[in-house]
Copies of this chain bind each other. A is one copy, B any other.
Amino acid sequence: MSVTHPAGFRASGVVAGLKSTGARDLALVVNDGPRHDAAAVFTSNRAKANPVLWSEQAVRDGRIDAVVLNSGGANCFTGAFGFQTTHSTAEAVAAALGVAAGDVLVCSTGLIGVGDQSFRDAILDNVPAAATALSPEGGAEAALAIMTTDSKPKEAVVSSSAGWSIGGMAKGAGMLAPGLATMLVVITTDAAVPAEALDRALRASTRVTFDRVDSDGCMSTNDTVALLASGASGVEADEAEFTAALTALCLDLARQLQRDAEGASHDIAIEVVNAASEDDAVVVGRAVSRSNLLKTAIFGNDPNWGRVLAALGTTDAVFDPYRIDVSMNGVMVCREGEPGEPRELVDLAPRETSILIDLKSGDASATIYTNDLTHDYVHENSAYAS
CA distance A299 to B381 in the complex (A): 9
Q: Which of A263-295 contact B (CB under 8 A)?
A: 290-293
Main secondary structure of the interface of A (DSSP, over half): loop
With A112-B307, A216-B293, A221-B310: A338-B78 Cβ-Cβ less than 8 Å: yes
CA distance A37 to B309 in the complex (A): 34
Q: Would A313 and B47 count as touching, CB distance under 8 A?
A: yes
Instruction: Tell which of B45, B293, B338, B377 touches A77, judged by Cβ atoms closer than 8 Å.
Output: B338
CA distance A302 to B378 in the complex (A): 13
Contact with B along A146-187 (1 / 0, CB 8 A): 000000000000000000000000000011000100000000
- Interchain nearest-CB distance for A103 vs B (Å): 26
Number of interface residues of A (CB under 8 A): 59
Closest to A311 in B: B218
Q: For residue A334, which residues in chain B have a CB less than 8 angstroms away from its CB? A: 77, 113
Does A220 interact with chain B (Cβ within 8 Å)?
yes
Q: Which of A34-48 contact B (CB under 8 A)?
A: 45-48
Q: Would A382 and B47 count as touching, CB distance under 8 A?
A: no
Q: Would A45 and B313 count as touching, CB distance under 8 A?
A: yes
Q: Which residues of A contact B (CB under 8 A)?
A: 45-48, 74, 76-79, 111-113, 174-175, 179, 216-221, 290-293, 296-297, 299-300, 302, 304-307, 309-315, 321-322, 334, 336-339, 373-375, 377-383, 385
